Amino acid sequence: MLLLGSRAPGRHVEQHDFFFGIAAQLKDLIPEIKKFWPEAGNNIHVDAWREVNAVDGYQVRVVPKEHESGSGKKLFFINLGGYQENKFEEQHYTVLTVKEDRAAAFREASKHGSLSTRISKVPILISMINMELMSMIYTR
């Protein structure tokens, strides 16, 4: 899981996005990263990264699709965003969680960080990525 940054051509401030990939080393992801965010040009860089090998007490392993465990669990990335009073920039709270479905993942994310007090009544933006396309198994 990478947090990418770029001062893309024509932009006044650095922009960010999350990228998920599978590789033995970070440098092996460079071609996929460039395809993911082509408008960033040569200005793209990694601001932060995390190797995801355990979430919510589950071990995360990448396996061929035909070797899936069929546990019914899925890995979700949730990005909650909104605005606080007297702050000009959008505030974010991100969570990785293993749940059965999107609704359960959102409920879990909502428990953390006291969102109701941190983020104003402006509508909260929700980005959820179901990572099951990565063919991962979750075992306790």
Task: Give the percent of the chain with pLDDT over 70.
Answer: 75
Structure confidence by residue, pLDDT tens digits, 81-114: 777 778 787 777 788 888 888 888 888 877 765 4
Distance CA 112, CA 114 (A): 6
Mean of the per-residue pLDDT values of the chain? 76
Write out the two tokens for 107: 């409920």
- Give 9: exposed, middle or buried? Use CB within 10 Å, 0-12, 13-18, 19+: exposed
pTM of the predicted structure, to 2 decimals: 0.73
The angle formed by the CA atoms of residues 73, 76 and 61, to the nearest 5 degrees, is 60
Distance CA 110, CA 123 (A): 14
User: Regarding predicted confidence, which is higher, 131 or 57?
Assistant: 57
Domain range annotation of the chain: 1-51, 52-140
